[in-house]
Amino acid sequence: MTKPSALKTILRCKPVVDFLAGEEEDGRTLARSIGLFQLTMLGVGATIGTGIFVALTTAVPEAGPAVTLSFVIAGITAALTALCYAELASCVPAAGSSYSYAYATLGELAAFLIGACLLLEYGVSASAIAVGWGQYLNELLLVVTGWRLPEAIADPPGRGGIVNLPAVILVLMCLVLLLRGARESSTANAILVVAKLAVLALFVVIALAHFSIANFHPFAPMGMIGIGSAASSIFFSYIGIDAVSTAAEEVKNPRRTLPLAIVLSLLIVTGAYILVALAAVGAQRWTVFAGQEAGLAVILHNLTGAAWPAVVLSLGAIASIFSVTLVVLFGQTRILYAMSRDGLLPAFFSKIDPVSHVPRQNTWVVAVGAALLAALVPLDVLVNLTSMGTLIAFAAVSAGVIILRRTNPDLSRGYHVPLYPALPVLSVLFCLYLIAGLPADTYLLFAAWIGAAGLIYFGYSMRRSALADAR
């Protein structure tokens, strides 16, 4: 047998039929226990969190009142990508999300690098989100008891802290839930999502009652550069689109449920983000947002002079950020599971617990890694790295729609992207626009990450791939 060339090796694609057949040997099977409502709430739960509860206080100083446009731009990009996700999810309903789609369309090396982006996206995102949890916990303690945790253990390095202890506790609580099983995790998440939407609705009602159009002048003090920069930095909060498809192998009737859940979660999230951003900027001068921890709770306290709205909002934020961290950690374990099952990572990551039907060892590794990042790395670095990983993965999915239409036109699709091929092309262009708005240090850190991933692929994964064994 002739040994395939290096080029053919890195470009080999996993046949779609292999994804559809699944992997049932060695007990490596996930249980299908998630319905449409739970899956939609999974998407909303993974999305509404730090992006509106925490990142708003860093995005408003970048764009001014025009941050509302930043959310619109990010939302349009996410919507274009969501429709591409919906098509691929309907025809390749496999765990692994963008990684699996890239493996079916772009080849093994691209899939591995996309997988690395997803691990960055999920692992770093979970850490960035967990960092924000401590802010709202401290705000709640301050309002209720007049006492707050010392900065050394409540804030991340770079903001006066040494070790962010609340973030570590949050990740460990999520670990306990994840180890119980997908059904238990998704049910707990659905309850938390309903609670957080109710809390955000309360914020919007109170803030709009104090709305002043004067707060929108000047509207765009930093110009389009500021609007684009803010849109780039908050884009990580749309990670929930990808999280929906990571649960593909645990969803009932995935061809129908996945596309519906992706579109529904995006509509709920984008509407909530724009309403909250509009109400927040209308209720408070944009110059006040800078450095304002637990921003939404502080805004309510300042507006009403009463403690109870801030208490309610802080409780909602604590529940909200908990649910986001839970879903994002869930997503990362499923990415590792899919890559391991394909032979690109050690088999350790795809071992399934026979009782809970979850990748137990995998989940422990992910939780410990996220806890260490959240405890020791500054939030702004985490946010921009997550945006980069998310945007690269989203662009790959949009390109994958075009490639799969050409290479496998007869494949059964439960959903078709409208306005093809214009919409996938626009999605790629919007992603590239937001990538261009990220700071230079993010590019350097990302390049180092991708370089390390490339070394792992050529040094380990290329030879141990399941596709290599099949030849």
Average pLDDT, the chain: 81
Other beta carbons within 10 angstroms of residue 165's beta carbon come to: 18
Identify which of 294, 231, 302 has the alpha carbon closest to the alpha carbon of residue 75. Answer: 231
Measured CA to CA, the distance from residue 276 to residue 52 in angstroms comes to: 8
pLDDT at 465 > cutoff 80: yes
Q: Give residue-wise pLDDT tens across range 165-217.
A: 888 888 898 898 888 876 777 777 788 888 888 888 888 998 898 888 998 98
pLDDT at 293 > cutoff 90: no
pLDDT at 425 > cutoff 90: yes
Q: Give residue-wise pLDDT tens across range 429-458.
A: 988 988 888 888 888 888 998 999 999 999
Neighbouring C-alpha atoms within 13 Å toward the C-beta of 312: 17
Domains of the chain listed by start with CATH number: 32-457 (1.20.1740.10)
CA distances from 147 to 58, 76, 140, 152, 321 (A): 25, 42, 9, 15, 22
Q: Taking the mean position of all CA atoms in its chain, how far away is CA 84? A: 16
pLDDT at 320 > cutoff 70: yes
> How long a stretch of residues is the chain?
471
Prediction pTM value:
0.78
- pLDDT for the residue numbered 27: 46
- pLDDT for the residue numbered 197: 86
Q: What's at 456, amino acid-wise?
A: I
Most confident of 5-9, 113-117, 158-162, 465-469: 113-117
- pLDDT for the residue numbered 221: 87
Cα first-last separation, the chain: 9
Q: Give residue-wise pLDDT tens across range 15-66.
A: 877 776 654 444 456 667 778 888 888 888 777 765 566 667 778 888 889 8
- pLDDT for the residue numbered 38: 83
